[in-house]
Amino acid sequence: MKCVKCGAELTSEMFACGMCFSCGCSISESEEAFEIEQARIKAEADFAIQQQQEELERKSQEEQRMYAERFKNHMLTTGFSFEGYHISEYLGIVTGETIMGTGYFSDLSASISDLFGVEASEYSEKLRAAKQAVLKIMIKNSTDLGGNAIIGISYELMTFSGNMMGVSVTGTAVRAEKYSDNA
Ligand SMILES: [Zn+2]
């Protein structure tokens, strides 16, 4: 901290005396000026952070709206065509995968064989949720490529040791157009 009058660095001795030894002015003035400056810097920083957060929030809301719109109009099939549509563009393979950790099977015993026993319904519920999560990623990738549909979707289950399972999903992102659009 510096003296507000002469700019000299204030030492602890000067604080003890309440006076700047260089110019003789009262240190309370410097302290006040220091506090005002600190408050100003903090307010500026707070404002900048707030603006950043608002900007981020606005962007994420915009993005969510955009993806919600795209998801709504996006089609999926394990087949290779859609009734009433023709495929105008093949945009490439999209993939997604997820690993279901032990947490998914917390209520199950260690043996995988149990999965196909009494707890099968719980297992299939978890698998369904995992597939959905992966499809969301794939739809995002597809729409990023300009696609509005994924065809030829295939699922692959991977098993690992230690109660881990994975789902890998592959498909082809395409641009599908209604026949009437071009008629
Ligand atoms: Zn001074």
10 C-alpha to center of ligand 1: Å? 8
22 C-alpha to center of ligand 1: Å? 5
Confidence class for position 107, pLDDT limits 50, 70, 90 = very low
Question: Is 50 exceeded by the pLDDT of residue 45?
Answer: yes
Tell me which CATH homologous superfamily contains domain 75-178: Hypothetical protein apc22750. Chain B (3.30.110.70)
Please give the DSSP secondary-structure letter assigned to residue 16: H
30 C-alpha to center of ligand 1: Å? 9
28 C-alpha to center of ligand 1: Å? 11
Q: Is 171 helix (H, G, I), strand (E, B) or coil?
A: strand
Question: Is 80 exceeded by the pLDDT of residue 1?
Answer: yes
Report in angstroms the alpha-carbon separations of 148 from 143, 145, 159, 178: 6, 9, 32, 11
The pLDDT of 164-175, averaged and rounded, is 91
Closest among 164, 160, 168, 159 to 106, alpha carbons compared: 164
pLDDT digits (tens, 9 = 90+) for 142-158: 999 999 999 999 999 88
Q: What pTM was estimated for this model as a whole?
A: 0.57
Letter string b/e over residues 51-69, b meaning 16 or more CB atoms within 10 A of that residue's CB: eeeeeeeeeeeeeeeebee
7 C-alpha to center of ligand 1: Å? 6
pLDDT value of residue 63: 85
The pLDDT of 124-145, averaged and rounded, is 87
Confidence class for position 108, pLDDT limits 50, 70, 90 = very low
| C-beta of residue 167 within 8 angstroms of C-beta of residue 103 | no
pLDDT value of residue 71: 86
Q: Residue 162 region, left (φ>0) first, then alpha (ψ -120 to 50), else beta? A: left
The pLDDT of 116-134, averaged and rounded, is 72
3-12, 21-30, 173-182: the lowest-pLDDT one: 173-182
9 C-alpha to center of ligand 1: Å? 8
pLDDT value of residue 69: 86
pLDDT value of residue 95: 95
Strand order in the sheet with 149-160: 75-76, 149-160, 164-178, 85-100
Q: How far apart are CA 146 and CA 140, in angstroms?
A: 10
Confidence class for position 121, pLDDT limits 50, 70, 90 = low
Per the listing, tokens 């979707």 go with 153
